[in-house]
Amino acid sequence: MDIQNLLVISVGAILISNFVLSRFLGICPYIGVSRQMDSAVGMGLAVIFVMAIASAVTWVIYTYFLMPTHANILFILFGKEGQSPTDLTFLQTITFIFVIASLVQFVEMVIQKTSPGLHRSLGIYLPLITTNCAVLGVSFLNIDSGYNFMESLVNGMASGIGFTLALVLMAGLREKLETARVPKAMQGAPIAFVMAGLMALAFMGFSGLSLG
């Protein structure tokens, strides 16, 4: 396995094209859950977890159920001799969102059974993740980028880490902001957006990193 390649993907997803600050995915939780450090960390961990699993599962489903190849499981089971495999990739969106929604439910159930402590800290964030576009976004990106299974898994995890990094930084800033004198009209979301802009500006510096 090409470790260097995986490292390049990770650094790219965490710093250079950070999910929140340069790809604009997962903005709603970024603004909504960044008021306190505790909840930011909890949300971040839940997102890393779900994004990694979702990347792996959606990749397998796309490659072995939707793509018109001879390795397509539906083709192997139901295809007839001499027939060419059917292209089901147009069902991508609907399958992926369903997979992610069920996955989130499943993860919640498993965590609830196995580790009540973890469930108490992550539980409330899990349902929110279904409509977090970062999870669906990373699944699409893996496919569009032509990543293989390992690359998708690493990209999913690294993108989650990038999201968490941006979220935790923002939470830290907003906690400090409590004591600052912000003009009344700019309090809350507006000043958070402006800070996000400054952070995006800082993260743009990473695009100078040359990789590979």
Partner 1 sequence: MSVGKLFGKGIVSDNPVFRLLLGLCPVLATSTSVFNAIGMGVSVIFVLLCSNILVSSIRHFIPQKIRIPIYICIIATFVTIVDMVLAGFMPELHKSLGMFIKLIVVNCIILGRAEAFASRNNPFHAIIDALGMGIGFTLAMIAVATFREILGNGTWFGMPVLGTSFEPVLLMILSPGAFFTIGLITGFLNWLDHRKRIPHAVLNG
Partner 2 sequence: MKEIVKFAVVLCLVMMIAAVALSYVHSLARPRILAQQQKDLMAGLIAVLPGSELGVITSHPSGYYTGYASKDSSDLIGHAFPVVSRGYSSDIRTLVGLDTAGVILSVKILFQQETPGLGTRIEETRRGESEPWFQNQFRGKSIEEIRLDKDGGPIQGITGATITSKAVTDGVRIGLRRFQESVNAAIQNISE
Positions that interact with partner 2 (CB under 8 A): 17, 22-23, 90-91, 94, 98, 141, 144-146, 207
* Span interacting with partner 1, options 4-12, 59-67, 78-86, 87-95, rule CB under 8 A: 87-95
Query: What would you report as the CA-atom Rg of the chain, rounded to the nearest whole angstrom?
Result: 19
| Least Å from the CB of residue 159 to partner 1 | 13
| Residue 146 binds which entry of partner 1, partner 2, none, CB below 5-8 Å type-dependent | partner 2
The number of helices, as runs of H, and strands, as runs of E, in the chain is 10, 0
Rounded distance, CA 179 to CA 157, Å?
A: 34
Question: Which residues 12-71 are close enough to bind partner 1 by CB under 8 A?
Answer: 21-28, 31-32
Q: Which residue, 145 or 187, has its beta carbon nearer to partner 2?
A: 145
How remote is the C-alpha of 164 from its chain's centroid? 10
| Least Å from the CB of residue 210 to partner 2 | 9
DSSP 3-state percent helix, strand, coil across the chain (nearest 5): 75, 0, 25
| Least Å from the CB of residue 87 to partner 2 | 9
